[in-house]
A = this chain, B = another copy of it.
């Protein structure tokens, strides 16, 4: 075996010669075409194995005009949510025989988005998944006239694009309902930035649920998702002591709040109950362990890729994939004093 040491990669024709068939027959075997006799198929498969043949993706892409590549555009790719969504996308893509090409942007401006998308289409991406949960993303994309399916993560579908998101409003309602059920009447919200879709949805869900219960919805402070902003807001809240419970836009800000409360001698949950959002792996080990709303980012990513595959096969586009969040009750919430 193996007397050809430094020849280049075998190609279709080499396999064909070895199996004594035409290159087209080999192509048929590779692509699982039905009309190949099993004897021929075996011969060809043997030749492929002997030669260690691997199909050349570039040549295939050139003629099929398909790259088998999905482009993923992400802001904040180092963060827990986007990173795990990406993971889910990649897993599903792999199973379907697709490659995943990534593009990270630092600022979610229209130019950055447009450049990144351009880069992805230059590579011949068959579809694009956009994980940029800011306002303005849709507009930035709409100006772009793309001829591949686009799925927006964290936004509802409609118009030109499909969407995939965890039901943020539902998550917020779960959190607030939990606090109401415990007996809280003054429930504040430390929100994410209001120019982020998620930040706004959570705030809306919070407000809606409070109004339904006939409770005041005037206690809203905007943070920037970071633990630092949570800490600053926490110091302020510790001084004011207006609410008996707080729904916080994500677990990182909740951590900052917890820290600030601890410093100020405000006990959680005895003096104030706190609910977070995301359920990062660490949240169960905060002091105290955090009651929070779990988002399954990996699942989101997988289903997103599912929708993409569907769109690539000519299925209906512009729908919305919705993943349900789940309340995880731990020790940072209790009935008011």
Contact = CB atoms under 8 A, between A and B. Distances in A.
Interface of A: 54-59, 61-62, 67, 69, 77-80, 83-84, 86-87, 90-91, 94, 99-104, 119, 121-124, 226-228, 230-231, 252, 255-256, 258-259, 262, 281-282, 284-287, 289, 297-298
Given A84-B78, A255-B282, A282-B252, A94 B90 contact: no
Contacts of A289: 259
Contacts of A121: 54
Give the oligomeric copy count: 2
Nearest to A62: B58
Given A62-B58, A77-B86, A101 B103 contact: no
Contact of A99 (B77, B123, B259): B123
Nearest to A289: B259
Given A78-B83, A227-B281, A256-B285, A101 B58 contact: no
A239 to B, nearest CB: 18
Contact of A91 (B57, B90, B104, B259): B104
A282 B83 CA distance: 17
A285 B101 contact: no
A56 B124 contact: yes
B285 A228 contact: yes
Contacts of A101: 69, 99-102
A55 B122 contact: yes
B231 A54 contact: no
Contacts of A69: 101, 123
A69 B228 CA distance: 37
